[in-house]
Amino acid sequence: MRGYGGRILFVDAGTGATRVQPVREEQARALLGGNGFAARLLVDHAPAGVDPYDAENPVVFAVGPVTDTSVPGNSRACVAAKSPLTGLFFDSTFGGRFPATMKRTGFDAVVITGRAKEPVYLRVTEDGATLQPARDLWGRTTRDTVHAVQEVEGPSSDVMAIGPAGEKRVRFAALATYWKNREGVAGRGGIGAVLGAKNVKAVSVAGARKTELADAAALKALIEERREPMTTGTKALSTYGTPFLVKPINTLGAFGAYNLRQETFAEALAISGEEMHAHYHDRDTTCLKCPVACGKQYEIRDGELAGLKAKMPEYETIFAFGSMLGNAHAGSLTRANDLCDLLGLDTITMGVTLAFLAEALERGWVSADEVGVPFGWGDWRGMLRLIEQTAAREGFGDRLAEGSWRLAESLHPEATRSVYAVKRLELPAHSARALKGLSVGYATATRGGSHHDTRPTPQYAAGFDRRGTEGKPEFAVRSQHFTAVGDSLVICRFTSERGYGLYVEEPYARMVRAITGWDVTVEELERVGERVINLERSFNVREGVRRAADVLPWRVMHEPIPDGPSAGMYCPPPELAAMLDRYYSIRGWDGDGVPTQERLAALGL
């Protein structure tokens, strides 16, 4: 099979036992790889109702046919598990160099189950996997761990590690890899805590297998053809990174602030990409062989945090620690981001949970004494301290480590009304009220509050009607297929959306044909996306998800945006219900959101 290693590696972290399973061609063609493989493996190997921290909850690392080819943004992989935050299927993708190196091991997926008695790291090579002692690494940051393991494994190895937060089972613990100043973080859903519960501190990969292409000339021609639109489309990303989004989205009145009481932030300019670039830009960083280089290294040159050199905060992070907290101290955003990466925390959940806490303090649902650290709107010093406490589960951090939904439930009967989360996953910085495609998109997303299930990008385009509900269920379905296919190939969203199209279209079919030699069509790829979504939904249905879980945050359904260019927008329950009816009907799911046997059978599931 071209484009694949053709093998899946199963590892028991408890015993060290491994086994290798070949990938059948029809399985590869039906699911592509990455997200698709992970969904199939979790449906098959995670027992129904398994506790996310149980040894039997598998962690799956998976690459796809695009990984380690010459397609821009190809060094991308997916890590998946049942999430300790949502209790549902979860996958998170990441870049750097690790994904390409993993592909060179000749394993398309590595499935880790079991629980080691002592801390270990997993060494994966072309020959299989072994467990290596990691007691000395326990307690160390993600970066220290990556560098320490690389010292042993050699410079051509790549390492993905958890930080102290994963060891302490913070429900939104992340994993990180480092390569030449480029950090790749699989942030969302708490998969770092699942690895921590297995006593697996890190995974190292090394190999030299090449990805064979069916038609290298056809792939080269496609990349050449798409070079110009990709370069033009990624110009702002190349210059500023994702923070370039702050200004336009704030101008649209869709930039959540003060725990979503507002959707414009008066001080947005101070934390915009342009402003931070002017003050802090040190150098560009990039994933392996990607010409976009959307990563930026910042250097804070003044104030209390002077001397700090760290990765820039992404747009979502600026929202979570900035506008949502009423915090316009730009340097503190870089520090908060750096802390989260080093300690292994998801920045979106961390920041949005703190925004909920700021409101809870104001409403008297929790006292300043209980929190124990001076904190409130705009208090960035308190924010930094609480991030550290969360990773260590120290003091009030132990409660923040549960995420905003569980914290709210523990505080007050009405407190969940102030939580900005869907299926217990905190929402990112693309408005559930000001973009109707995301209203239905978030409600139906496998992961809940994720902007990588239904995409915001097409909705910001001129000519897209973001205000009306007409056609939005259809849009969400198409967009979800697009993200499922992209995360199965696996390809970076930025290079794919801007270079190859916002939906599953002909350039993707050409890409898959050139890599694999299969005569795939756009229609066949669209069905792959649908198959992956239905597998994920089946996993979630098995865990109890029905229509009642497909809801939006209370504030999104009951409080219109108070002012600004999107004033008056929200998604009241009857409007959401009508969109859900339409969405289920397009999907061939019953009225309770359960895939019908007919639809599953038609998809070969």
Positions that interact with ligand SF4 (CB under 6 A): 73, 95, 286-287, 290, 292-295, 492, 494-495
Q: Are strands 7-12 and 109-113 parallel, antiparallel or unpaired?
A: parallel
In three-state secondary structure terms, 382 is: helix
Q: How far is the CB of 492 from ligand SF4 (least distance, A)?
A: 3
Judged by CB, which is closer to ligand SF4: 76, or 329? 76
Q: How far is the CB of 297 from ligand SF4 (least distance, A)?
A: 13
- Which of 459, 495 has the CB closer to ligand SF4? 495
**Which amino acid belongs to residue 165?**
A
Beta-bridge partner residues of 124: 129, 205
Q: How far is the CB of 22 from ligand SF4 (least distance, A)?
A: 30
Pick the closer one to ligand SF4 by CB: 291 or 562. 291
Task: Give me the least distance between CB of 494 and ligand SF4, in Å please.
Answer: 4
Closest approach of ligand SF4 to the CB of residue 244, in Å: 13
DSSP 8-state code for residue 312 = P
Residue at token pair 């994702």: 242
Q: Which is nearer to ligand SF4, 66 or 484 (CB)?
A: 66
Short-list 110, 71, 83, CA closest to 221:
71
DSSP string, 61-130: EE--TTTTSSSTT---EEEEEE-TTTSSEEEEEE-SSHHHHHHTTT-SEEEEES--SS-EEEEEETTEEE
CB nearer ligand SF4, residue 166 or residue 241: 241
Q: What is the DSSP string of 114-163?
A: S--SS-EEEEEETTEEEEEE-GGGTT--HHHHHHHHHHHH-TT-EEEEE-
Instruction: Provide the minimum distance between the beta carbon of 245 and ligand SF4 in the complex, in angstroms, as a whole number.
Output: 14
Q: Which CB, 49 or 291, lies closer to ligand SF4?
A: 291
Nearest to 290 by CA among 72, 76, 494: 72
Minimum separation from the CB atom of position 473 to ligand SF4 (A): 29
Pick 184 or 458: Cβ nearer ligand SF4: 184
CB of 287 to ligand SF4, least distance (A): 3
Q: Which residues have CB under 8 Å from 317's CB, separation 6+?
A: 333, 336, 337, 340, 347, 348, 351
Tokens matching residue 254: 């869709």
Residues 27, 29, 34, 36, CA torsion sign: negative
CB of 496 to ligand SF4, least distance (A): 9
At its nearest, how many Å lie between ligand SF4 and the CB of residue 293?
A: 6
Please state whether beta strands 309-311 and 175-179 pair in parallel, antiparallel, or not at all (unpaired): unpaired
- Residue closer to ligand SF4 (CB basis): 200 or 515: 515
Chain mean position to CA 560: 28
**CB of 77 or CB of 579, closer to ligand SF4:** 77
* Of residues 73 and 403, the one with the C-beta less far from ligand SF4: 73
Cα 279–chain centre separation: 28
Phi and psi of 11, rounded to 5°?
A: -130, 135
Q: Which of 311, 423 has the CB closer to ligand SF4? A: 311
State the Cα–Cα distance between residues 380 and 329, nearest whole angstrom.
7
Neighbour-count burial for 349-364, b at 16+ CB within 10 Å, e otherwise: bbbbbbbbbbbbbeee
State how far the Cα of 492 lies from the Cα of 95, in Å rounded to an integer.
8
Shortest Å, Cβ 487 to ligand SF4 = 13
